[in-house]
């Protein structure tokens, strides 16, 4: 099925700035066409409304007062035309306003998602997971709010300018009141804007902490229950919830002042201009039609003035949200990509990064961990055994570069520390002991290649997982719940093994792949893995005799170092330490 390209998506190498204001301008540059189009319809929309009072004034003076029927009909037609223009442009202006909001929000979500994926676990070491979740789920769409009002703001500026010129031509006094009073009203709002921005940022900070607390608690819910810590959590959550409420109340007070000012200040302005206009009409300086028109202008002016204050309000909100997103964008991963093409065996890093190049002949180099002395020979099934499983699990993590830091692990002539992380991930896959399954269709979770039923059937057979597929409503197209909680531990483990086998990497590292299954299932899996991975480099961290008996070579690890190696039967016969680890008290 062909991939559909959205014309407003971001290019893969787009690099957003990590400053809030520059980030907003960066988004503006990428959608300037729709912003200009919105303004192109926003200006005539508001101008058509602004010029209605002038048309009414002309109809009164030239038609009613002068008793000219044709003039009256003409200006009535002009008023009708203004209404039609307003009706037509308001729909298109609204369409572009919503488009601007959605484009800015969606692109903010894209760059945030890319930053989270690029940074990986390093991000949650700098920021709580709940804070990241709040930024991704809430902040990005609020960043688009200022883009939504941009079309109306352009119309507000244009209409305010035009009305001021009309008033100047009719009365210098009223024109000056408009030109000076309008900007002064907006400037007075700065007294509210600064505390509003501070309180919005404070309220957002407290809300992020509350989400982080909730996320941390959900992660450790079983531990809390086990130690009886529910009451302590409830106390902490109630306290943080109270702080969020207090921050919201403080914010609401300033927001209420701004909302009231949006109505009060234009209202005061209307009263002043109407009073001056009435005084000038009584003095005979302006005509009755002009008086009606001036009153219409003052009533209309509430619209551009309120739009201007709304723009400033949403600009503040967008800047606050942009700062939160920018803080995610500036986070650095543990293993930044490099542009160096490093050889791995006979292949370069750039070659390995191409889809489809993770073939089995790419694993021709020896995988070496200098910290432990582990050497994984290409094309073999190697097992790691230790009395302390965390030791061998740590070695497996280093081999797959899934832990931060530089460890000197080499693969052939290349250092994993110098290879781009995506190249390592494409060629060395580590399937951990506690596999993570996400909610959604099972086919997507397993990463089943499109149309490759042969590979799927082979992986399911090796993992002895066909019955797991049958137990799910809808089979491969059925939905699994978050973390696969509707499945047993053994079922989750077999699906994770299936997923790892389907990747068919050059090097596959399996950490305790059969610890949650029964002995009969374990025997079948142990027999099938060597056949499935025949000729490929495979590492298994395990203490199961059934699996170890199938390994080409076993490395025994003590105190983090390899102390001996051999086959399962030789080590059982000649190495007491290995016997104690593997037989687990079954010795005579």
pLDDT of residue 230: 54
Read off the pTM. 0.51
Cβ distance 517 to 546 under 8 Å? Answer: no
Alpha helices per DSSP H over 373-488: 389-399, 421-427, 442-446, 453-463, 466-471
pLDDT digits (tens, 9 = 90+) for 16-38: 888 888 999 999 988 889 999 99
pLDDT band at 209 (very low <50, low <70, confident <90, very high): low
**Mean pLDDT of all residues in 244-269:** 74
pLDDT of residue 301: 75
> What span, in angstroms and rounded, lies between the C-alpha atoms of 268 and 177?
12
pLDDT over 70 (residue 118): yes
> What span, in angstroms and rounded, lies between the C-alpha atoms of 498 and 405?
30
pLDDT over 90 (residue 72): no
Range list for CATH 1.20.1560.10 in the chain: 20-329
Cβ distance 394 to 587 under 8 Å? Answer: no
pLDDT band at 383 (very low <50, low <70, confident <90, very high): very high
Task: Tell me the sheet residues that pair with 410.
Answer: 368, 415
Helices 20-30 & 69-119 angle (0-180, nearest 10): 120
CB atoms within 10 A of CB 59: 24
CB atoms within 10 A of CB 373: 15
pLDDT digits (tens, 9 = 90+) for 331-371: 777 555 443 334 343 343 333 433 334 444 444 589 999 99
Q: Tell how strand 381-386 and strand 537-541 pair up.
A: parallel
User: Of all helices (H) and strands (E), which one includes residue 480?
Assistant: strand 479-480
> What span, in angstroms and rounded, lies between the C-alpha atoms of 78 and 85?
10
Cβ distance 485 to 338 under 8 Å? Answer: no
Residue recorded with tokens 């009231």: 260
pLDDT over 70 (residue 401): yes
Helices 519-532 & 489-503 angle (0-180, nearest 10): 0
Cβ distance 16 to 26 under 8 Å? Answer: yes
Cβ distance 210 to 240 under 8 Å? Answer: yes
pLDDT of residue 213: 60
Give me the torsion for CA of 233, 235, 237, 243, rounded to 10°.
-160
pLDDT over 60 (residue 224): no
Cβ distance 385 to 565 under 8 Å? Answer: no
Classify domain 20-329 at the CATH class level.
Answer: mainly alpha
Superfamily (CATH H level) for 349-583 = P-loop containing nucleotide triphosphate hydrolases (3.40.50.300)
Task: Tell me the sheet residues that pair with 369.
Answer: 374
pLDDT of residue 339: 37
pLDDT band at 217 (very low <50, low <70, confident <90, very high): low
Which range, 135-149, 197-211, 250-264, 548-562, is most confident? 548-562
Which range, 101-110, 175-184, 271-280, 579-588, is most confident? 101-110
pLDDT of residue 272: 77
pLDDT of residue 137: 65
> What span, in angstroms and rounded, lies between the C-alpha atoms of 103 and 6?
11
> What span, in angstroms and rounded, lies between the C-alpha atoms of 284 and 264?
30
pLDDT over 80 (residue 10): no
pLDDT over 80 (residue 449): no
Cβ distance 459 to 498 under 8 Å? Answer: yes
> What span, in angstroms and rounded, lies between the C-alpha atoms of 409 and 416?
6
Range in 207-211, 301-305, 525-529 the model is least confident about: 207-211
CB atoms within 10 A of CB 21: 12
Range list for CATH 3.40.50.300 in the chain: 349-583
Range in 391-405, 473-487, 531-545 the model is least confident about: 473-487
């Amino acid at each position: 099925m062909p991939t559909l390209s959205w014309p407003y998506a971001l290019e893969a190498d787009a690099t957003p700035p990590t400053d809030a204001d520059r980030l907003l301008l960066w988004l503006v540059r990428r959608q300037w066409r729709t912003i200009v189009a919105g303004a192109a319809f926003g200006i005539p929309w508001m101008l058509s409304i602004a010029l209605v009072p002038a048309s009414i004034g002309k109809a009164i003076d030239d038609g009613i007062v002068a008793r000219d029927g044709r003039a009256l009909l003409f200006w009535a037609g002009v008023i009708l035309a203004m209404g039609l223009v307003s009706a037509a442009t308001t729909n298109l202006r609204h369409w572009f306003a919503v488009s601007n909001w959605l484009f800015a929000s969606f692109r903010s979500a894209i760059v945030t998602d890319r930053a989270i994926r690029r940074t990986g676990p390093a991000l949650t070491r700098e920021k709580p997971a709940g804070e990241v979740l709040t930024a991704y789920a809430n902040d990005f769409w609020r960043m688009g709010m200022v883009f939504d009002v941009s079309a109306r703001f352009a119309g507000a500026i244009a209409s305010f300018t035009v009305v001021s010129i009309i008033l100047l031509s009719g009365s210098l006094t009223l024109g000056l009141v408009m030109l000076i009073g309008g900007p002064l009203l907006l400037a007075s709002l700065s007294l509210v804007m600064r505390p509003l921005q501070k309180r919005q940022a404070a309220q957002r900070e407290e809300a992020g902490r509350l989400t982080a607390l909730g996320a941390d608690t959900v992660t450790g819910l079983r531990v809390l229950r086990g130690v009886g810590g529910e009451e302590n959590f409830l106390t902490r959550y109630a306290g943080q919830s109270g702080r969020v409420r207090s921050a919201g109340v403080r914010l609401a007070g300033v927001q209420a002042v701004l909302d009231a000012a949006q109505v009060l200040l234009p209202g005061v302005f209307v009263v002043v201009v109407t009073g001056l206009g009435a005084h000038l009409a009584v003095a005979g300086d302006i005509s009755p039609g002009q008086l009606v028109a001036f009153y219409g202008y003052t009533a209309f002016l509430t619209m551009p003035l309120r739009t201007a204050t709304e723009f400033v309000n949403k600009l503040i909100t967008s800047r606050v949200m942009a700062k939160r997103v920018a803080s995610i964008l500036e986070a650095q991963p543990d293993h930044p990509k490099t542009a160096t093409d490093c050889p791995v065996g006979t292949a370069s890093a750039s070659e390995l990064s191409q889809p489809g190049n993770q073939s089995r002949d790419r694993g021709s180099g020896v995988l070496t961990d200098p910290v432990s002395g582990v050497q994984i020979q290409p094309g073999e099934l190697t097992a790691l055994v230790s009395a302390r499983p965390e030791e061998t699990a740590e070695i497996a993590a280093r081999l797959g570069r899934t832990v931060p830091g530089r460890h000197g692990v080499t693969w052939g002539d290349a250092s994993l520390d110098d290879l781009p992380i995506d190249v390592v991930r494409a060629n060395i896959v580590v399937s951990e002991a506690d596999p993570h399954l996400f909610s959604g269709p099972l086919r997507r979770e397993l990463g089943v290649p499109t149309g490759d039923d042969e590979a799927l059937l082979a992986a399911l057979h090796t993992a002895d997982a066909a019955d797991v597929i049958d137990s799910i409503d809808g089979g491969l197209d059925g939905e699994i719940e978050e973390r696969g909680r509707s499945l047993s531990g053994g079922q989750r483990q077999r699906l994770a093994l299936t997923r790892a086998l389907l990747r068919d990497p050059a090097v596959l590292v399996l950490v305790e792949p059969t610890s949650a299954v029964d002995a009969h299932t374990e025997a079948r899996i142990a027999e099938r893995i060597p056949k499935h991975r025949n000729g490929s480099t495979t590492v298994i961290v395990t203490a199961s005799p059934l699996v170890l008996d199938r390994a080409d070579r076993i490395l025994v690890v003590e105190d983090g170092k390899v102390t001996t190696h051999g086959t399962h039967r030789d080590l059982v016969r000649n190495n007491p330490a290995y016997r104690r680890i593997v037989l687990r008290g079954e010795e005579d």
